[in-house]
């Protein structure tokens, strides 16, 4: 990501000093209107999307959660023939909680996404949730449609 794009901060939320670039704005717009190329919808992109939405809507966690949930479902529906796992409520809430807590920790810092993810590198490891969830528990049908708390260990904030 080109950090020159940060000369104008697109984060209009007065509750957060974290930065949102022009590239971030373009990315989130493509994701929201489902024109983002499916191949670019990686785990890192999920984290970036959460970072942007959380920063724009912080501290309204209900609005954040609904915006992310509905956006993922809309994006998945547009790309239904390419989807392997599909929408999963427990995984989505787990990652929203993780990124929300990290944003909260850095809320008074002027970090861009690249700086944020450099500090919070653990988010790039998608398998981290298996420290908290057994595969059997996480992939039961009910966990796809309803949030289930971790069964292996509690998430520490």
Record the pTM. 0.91
Q: Which residues contact 98 (CB under 8 A, 6 or more apart)?
A: 123, 155
Write the pLDDT tens digit of every residue in 124-149.
999 999 999 999 999 999 999 999 99
Closest CA to 125 of 104, 87, 95: 95
Q: How far is CA 127 from CA 7, 32, 66, 130, 134, in A?
A: 35, 25, 24, 6, 11
Alpha-carbon torsion (52, 54, 59, 65), positive or negative: positive
Q: How far does CA 3 lie from the centroid of its chain?
A: 20
Residue 85's SS3 state is coil
Write the pLDDT tens digit of every residue in 82-108.
998 899 999 999 999 999 999 999 999
Q: What's the DSSP call for residue 146?
A: S
Closest CA to 145 of 73, 46, 45, 49: 73
What are the boundaries of each domain within the chain?
A: 8-125
């Amino acid at each position: 990501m080109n950090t020159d794009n940060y000369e104008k901060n697109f984060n209009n939320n007065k509750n957060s000093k974290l930065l949102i670039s022009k590239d971030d704005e373009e990315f989130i717009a493509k994701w929201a209107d489902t024109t983002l190329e499916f191949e670019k919808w990686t785990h890192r992109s999920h984290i970036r999307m959460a970072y942007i939405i959380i920063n724009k809507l912080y501290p309204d966690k209900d609005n954040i959660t609904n915006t992310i949930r509905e956006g993922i479902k809309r994006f998945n529906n547009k790309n239904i023939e390419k989807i392997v796992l599909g929408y999963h409520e427990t995984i989505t809430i787990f990652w929203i909680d993780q990124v929300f807590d990290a944003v909260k920790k850095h809320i008074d810092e002027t970090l861009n996404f690249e700086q944020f993810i450099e500090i919070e590198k653990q988010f790039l490891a998608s398998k981290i949730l298996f420290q908290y969830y057994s595969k059997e528990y996480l992939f039961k049908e009910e966990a796809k449609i309803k949030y289930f708390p971790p069964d292996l260990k509690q998430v520490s904030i």
